[in-house]
Amino acid sequence: MKHEIVLTDTAREHYRGLDARGRSSIKKGLKDHLAFEPTKLSRSRMICLFPAQLRKWNNRYKTLIPFYQRQLMSYRFEARIVGIFLFGIPSAMGVWLRSLGVRVLATLAHPVQGLKALPENWRRILWAMDSRHAPELVPGLAAEDGRFSPSRLVKRIRAVDWPKRLRLSPLILIWFLPGLLYRWSLKSTCWLYLPLLYLGGGLGRSRTPEEEAKEKGLFVTGLYKGRVEGLRRWLALGVLASAIITTALNHPALGAGIRGALDRFPLLLQSFLWGFDRLTEHAANLTYLWAFNLNGWDLAPWQWLNLLGAVLTGALYFYSDRVNRAWTLAKEPNPNAPPEAGHVARLLRLTRARNLCVFFYVPLALGYAVLALGGLGGFGKGDLTGWLGWLGGLYGPYL
């Protein structure tokens, strides 16, 4: 039924004096009056309102409207929370699982390309990515569709009101936190992976024949006259000299004769003998780090690795000289000629064999030094039992 509202002059003046909220309460009161008070007056076509009724409705709904608004906001908040847990989070997890499935299927569909890209991906994660590098649902997806980039999502969240922020915020955690955790887990394995990179070190990855020729040239030049390789040669000479001198001094027949004719030896050899005496006096518990006894082949496993690495360094020196001379001759008719592939392959095998010796020597020698110096708080040879029995078999005879 359509009603016509009639206000008396006094009621009209009272209505005009109300603010917007007061007028809203009057309209709300009239609506409720027609809906819930079906009196004779409300069933008539004309409703006459007086100031007393206006004041009554205004005072009543001045307190009821904020209460109803608070109740409605509470119900809406609870409904949004329920909606987030029932629909929002499962949907976000579904998107993340789908992105994970895309990665797995792409890897399974292209296994060869995936294996080739594995070292480069590790290097990029370990060295090129920091905490400010945004994670991705799928590599390269943000460049194609900006809606799935963290920066775009954060801007969108900041631009909306708090209820929508509450709904959108879980997306950041569900979509991108697993990627960050995965990246951090890879970075935490660098203590294992970096030695493996060192073990396989040699040629860098090249995409064109020109880059491959350049990498081979740098590899041969670095082995022949690089500064790092020069330092390795000096270390190898020191190891071989220590092995020869300590073996001779420990020989029953040669030791006494060498010490008796010490003043007739060159100054360099005398300095070696002086250093040997000082080490014997102050570092006797670390004998298997610096003293080599080849008389009875009484060598620790890490000493064998040390000697083998020194021998391989010497072999690399002579063979890299040969490869460099052959490469120099090949560049006379063709300045862009790379080193011969067979020569480079042999150099790589020698380099990786030496790296393998270093890979095992460093932790073995470090473990021996820690145990020999009592660096574990009194943990000694007698404590290497049970599940540590293999350490007792490895280090026990040399402690």
Q: What is the pLDDT of residues 235-270, one digit of tens each?
A: 999 899 888 888 877 777 676 666 666 556 666 666
Mean of the per-residue pLDDT values of the chain: 72
Residues 246 and 385 in one domain: yes
Residues 66 and 147 in one domain: no
- Tell whether the model's pLDDT for residue 309 goes beyond 70: yes
- Whole-prediction pTM: 0.55
Residues 279 and 140 in one domain: no
| Residue 155: both structure tokens together | 């801007």
- 22: closest CA among 50, 56, 72, 69? 56
Host domain of residue 243: 209-398
Among 188, 222, 238, the domain boundary falls at 188
- Tell whether the model's pLDDT for residue 350 goes beyond 50: yes
> Is there a domain that residue 193 lies in?
no
> Is there a domain that residue 357 lies in?
yes
pLDDT tens for each residue of 217-238: 888 888 888 898 999 999 999 8
pLDDT tens for each residue of 148-207: 677 777 787 778 777 777 777 777 777 777 777 777 766 666 666 667 666 766 666 666
> Is there a domain that residue 197 lies in?
no
Q: Quick one: pLDDT at residue 161?
A: 74
Residues 93 and 67 in one domain: yes
Residues 361 and 286 in one domain: yes
> Is there a domain that residue 214 lies in?
yes
pLDDT tens for each residue of 14-69: 556 666 666 666 566 555 544 433 343 333 333 344 344 444 444 544 444 444 44
> Is there a domain that residue 199 lies in?
no
The letter for the amino acid at 283 is A
> Is there a domain that residue 91 lies in?
yes
> Is there a domain that residue 309 lies in?
yes
| Residue 308: both structure tokens together | 């083998």
Query: Would you say 201 and 353 are in contact if contact means Cβ atoms under 8 Å apart?
Result: no
Q: Quick one: pLDDT at residue 317?
A: 93
Residues 236 and 322 in one domain: yes
Residues 256 and 132 in one domain: no
Residues 306 and 370 in one domain: yes
Separation in Å, CA 132 to CA 43, 169, 301: 70, 19, 45
Among 60, 90, 109, the domain boundary falls at 109
Residues 43 and 73 in one domain: yes
- 308: closest CA among 251, 219, 243? 243
Q: Quick one: pLDDT at residue 42?
A: 37
CA quadruple 256, 262, 265, 269: dihedral sign: positive
Among 109, 132, 150, the domain boundary falls at 109
Mean pLDDT of 269-298: 75
Query: Would you say 126 and 190 are in contact if contact means Cβ atoms under 8 Å apart?
Result: yes
Residues 38 and 67 in one domain: yes
For residue 376, name the pLDDT band (cuts at 50, 70, 90): low
CA dihedral 150→154→155→156, nearest 10 degrees, is 100
Give me the number of domains the chain comprises: 3
Residues 232 and 378 in one domain: yes
For residue 291, name the pLDDT band (cuts at 50, 70, 90): confident
Q: Quick one: pLDDT at residue 379?
A: 63
Residues 226 and 362 in one domain: yes
> Is there a domain that residue 334 lies in?
yes
